Each structure stands twice: as C-alpha cells, then as structure tokens.
Amino acid sequence: MVLNRRPQARDTVIRQPRLRDVRPTVAETAPTRRPRRVFSSPYILLFSFVMLIVTGGLLLTTPVASTAGGFTSLDVAFFTAISAITVTGHTVVDTGAYWSHFGQAVIFFLMLVGGLGFMAVATFLLILIGQRSSLQERLVMRDTMGTDRMGGLRRVTISILGVVLFIYVVGAAAIFWRINGLAEMGVGESIWQSTFLAVSAFNNAGFSILPESVGPGLTGLSAEWAFLGFMTVLIMLGGIGWTVLLDVFRHRRFARLNLDTKLVLVTSVGLWVLGAGTFFLAEYSETLAGIGTADKAVSSVFHSISGRTAGFAAVDFGLVDDFTKVTFPALMFVGGAAGSVAGGIKVATFAVIIAAVISSLRGRSEAEAFGREIAHFQVLRALTVVALGVGFLMVVLPTLTITDPDIPFLDLFFDTVSAFGTNGTTTGIVPGLSLPGKCIFMITMFVGRLGPLTLALALAPREEASVYRFARERVKIG
C-alpha cells in the first residue's frame, strides 16, 4: 500500500530569475529623420499662388503683352498679375488700352484660375492623375470650398466646374446680345469682350477691356438696364457660393434650407438693401444727378451688389460723397460667402457674430439663429477671422500714410479695404501710388485672397488636442 505523504520543506524548489534576466534591455537607435513636407496643404496653396503670380508677371513684362510693344516695368506687371489671380480688379494702367490681346489673355487666365479657387482646380487635377488627397488637404479644401462632406469633395469639384462653365457660356451670350456692334466692334471682338466680361463678372474680378469710346469701366453703359441686370446676376451667383446655390436648388423652400444657407441669404439681402439705400440717398444729388429716379434706383442696386464683392462701377467713385466712402468699405470688408469667388471675411462669419450679439442681448448662453444653436468654436473662429482682418488693416493703413502722405486718408482707406476684400472698387488713387505703396497693396491683395484663417493655418504649428481645462472665473465686461 502506497501512502501519500505531505511534501516537506526540503522538497520545495525555489526558482529565481538570474540577475541578467531581470535587468531592463536598453536599445539605442538613431532618431528617425522625417523630411518636412513643405509642399503639403496648406503650403501648396501659398506656393501655387506665388508660382502663378511669378509666371503671369513675367509674361506681362514681355513686349508682346503690351500694345506699345516695349517691356513693361516689373511693378506694373506684377501688380496686374496679383490683382488678376486674386480677382481684385485694382489696376495701375488701363487694361483695355495698355495690354495687347496676349496680355489680356494672360489676365483672363489668371482671373479664371483665381476665381474658381485654386483648391478646386488642384482637386480636379488630382482626379485626373488618379491620386488621392490626404486628410489634411481635405480639411483645408473643406474650409476653402465651404462643404462638410469629406467624401463628396471630388464630386462637388466636378459639379462646380461643370456648372460654372455653363454659367460662363450663358452669361457671355447674354452680354454679347447687348454689346455686339458697340463702338464699332466686330463679331469676333464682341465675342471676346463678352466672354471676358462674363468671366470677370462671375468671378467678381472687376476687370474690363471695353474700348475707351465706351468710357472708363462701365460708365458708358450706365443707362443699359439689361446689360447691368446681366452683370448683376452673374456677380450675385459668383459671390453667393457653390453650396448655397446647390442647397437652394435641392430644397427650394426656405424652411428646408440648412443654417449656413439661411444665414448667407438673409445677411446678403440685408447688406444689399443697406448698400443700395446708402448709395441712393448719398448720391441722389451727387454722382446720380441728371438721371431719372428709376435709373438712380437701378444704379444703386447695381453698385450695392458690385461694390461689395466685384468692383465694377458705372460712376466715378472718386467723386462720391464721403458718407459713401465710409459705408462701402464696411460692406467690402464683409465680402461674399464661403466657397465663393468673392473675398472678405465672408458673409457667414459676419452673420455668426451678429447672431452671437443678438443671443447675448437676449440673455442666451449660446449663439442661436433660426432655431439652431451655433457651435461655440465657430463663434470663436469668426471672432478670430475678424480680429486678424482688422489687425492687418490697422498695420497697413498707417504704413500707407507714411509711404503716400499726399493721398487723402479717406480715399486711401477706401481703396485699402477694397484691396483686402479683393473687391477692386477704387477712387482712382492706385495708379498714383508710390512703389512702396504698390508693394503694400500687392501684399494686401494676396493676404485678402487667401483669407486670414487660411493664412493662419499655413503659418501656425499643428494644434494639439487639449487634455485638460482651467478653472472658470468671471471677469468684468462693460
């Protein structure tokens, strides 16, 4: 019989790891060197604009680009190139008289690319070569084009190009119907003029190459209601934004529109009414004197819409009343809608701030509009965009008073805000700017086109997610 005995202490085996087994293993490796992606978004937007400006400026300096047949100075060529690519419309020479057909074609191409938005064109090129855009690039394109649907960016881009091409053709045909034979222009010249004007109007560029016999700008066509109507519709479509047009086309009822579309439409109509009323009252006995009341009303509506985003003018803004020169810069500073061809801080940005102010006056803790709550971070982003824009102008304007002390401050203020809003409406001081003044205007147009927020994203380091919040404490306001 086998008896089970309990194990004794001497039968217990104790195993301990050797000292070298418990020591930590230290592996020394060289740090991985990752090349900096200088040409990644949003840097590619900056570099692409610079490359287009350099190419366009150099082409405009060549003798074939001017009617005189000589070389154009660098300041004139590059000022025109920057104004075209940023769809501003400020000029230091007469576009129709100074530039040859080749020079006008270069300007046409620059404002065509700049108007559609370089990010939309870059997205279309990515589709053609079969590449995929990165997440960061899509985020920047979302902010630039005004769409939140990440996966639909490519489809939206193709739709944009198709719709815009259709609008160009229809707009050019309508303008051709009104200007054919004007100032003894042949059919070929009328087609070129109407195409140029249609693209310039929809892109809110403000460039015109009409003959001198018609008058500077659109002054010779101020009595053409149909022509001004066609131009006004093109300017409105270009400045209201792609996604707004798409949302209106899909839903057709105001109650079904999304919040962004409602804010853009209501704010745009309010600004148009404000601008038209201001221009009508201030210029009734000034620049509008001598024409009928109906003509005055039509001209006021046209200049309210064009003066906020496009820059076309049928009157001389150098002769307008001081009240107009003070009011219109505020409209130009706001500009058009996000995802449109217009500049400025954008209509939705202004609308968000107004909604926050109204909500605060009503005692609401969050910004509200049309029965919807606006995210707090969007209110902060809107305030940032406005603060950056105002801060930039507060630096530029005093500098211009030093470089060009002989120009009246009100005219300088008007044209500087117009340059920042990529508007192009001018009092006529731009050709008389000094070389430093022209350089400052070039920088202002460039910064205004890219937008304060896009420029900040391009220059600021990558943000890190906050893992903590500070204690809340009240401060005294008012």
Measured between alpha carbons, how far is 154 from 144 in angstroms, rounded to an integer? 14
Q: How confident is the model at residue 194 (pLDDT cuts 50, 70, 90)?
A: very high
CB atoms within 10 A of CB 345: 24
Give yes or no for a contact between 430 and 92, defined as CB atoms under 8 angstroms apart.
yes
CB atoms within 10 A of CB 175: 24
Count, residues in the chain: 478
120 has a pLDDT exceeding 90: no
Give domain status of residue 12, yes or no.
Answer: no
Query: What is the pairing mode between strands 372-373 and 368-369?
Result: antiparallel
Question: CB of 158 within 8 A of CB of 177?
Answer: no
Tokens of 281: 């009252």
- Residue 39, pLDDT above cutoff 50: no
Quickly count: other Cβ atoms within 10 Å of residue 141's Cβ.
25
Q: Does the pLDDT at position 8 exceed 70?
A: no
pLDDT, one tens digit per residue, over 286-341 is 888 888 888 899 999 999 999 999 989 888 898 899 999 999 999 999 998 877 88
Confidence of residue 130 (pLDDT cuts 50, 70, 90): very low
Q: How large is the average pLDDT for residues 171-178?
A: 91
Lowest mean pLDDT among 156-165, 192-201, 377-386, 459-468: 459-468
Q: Per-residue confidence at 247, pLDDT binned at 50, 70, 90? A: confident
Q: Which range marks the domain in which residue 259 is found?
A: 39-454
Provide the terminal-to-terminal Cα distance of the chain, rounded to the nearest Å.
Answer: 100
The pLDDT of residue 27: 61
Mean pLDDT of the chain: 82
Count of C-beta atoms within a 10 Å radius of residue 28: 4
Residue 274 lies in a domain: yes
255-272 pLDDT tens trace: 888 898 999 999 999 999
Is residue 10 in a domain? no
Q: How many angstroms separate the CA atoms of 107 and 439, rounded?
A: 19
What tokens appear for 240 in the block?
């209201």
For 339, half-sphere exposure in the C-beta direction (CA atoms, 13 angstrom radius) is 22
Confidence bin at 191 (pLDDT 50/70/90):
very high
Provide the β-strand partners of residue 369: 372
Question: Residue 211: is the preceding peptide bond cis (ω within 30°)?
Answer: no
Query: Quick one: which of 420, 413, 423 has its CA closest to 441?
Result: 420
**Hey, what are 261's tokens?**
């579309």
SS3 of 432-470? HCCHHHHHHHHHHHHHHHHCHHHHHHHHCCCCCCCCCCC
C-beta of residue 421 within 8 angstroms of C-beta of residue 311? no
Please give the tally of structural domains in the chain. 1
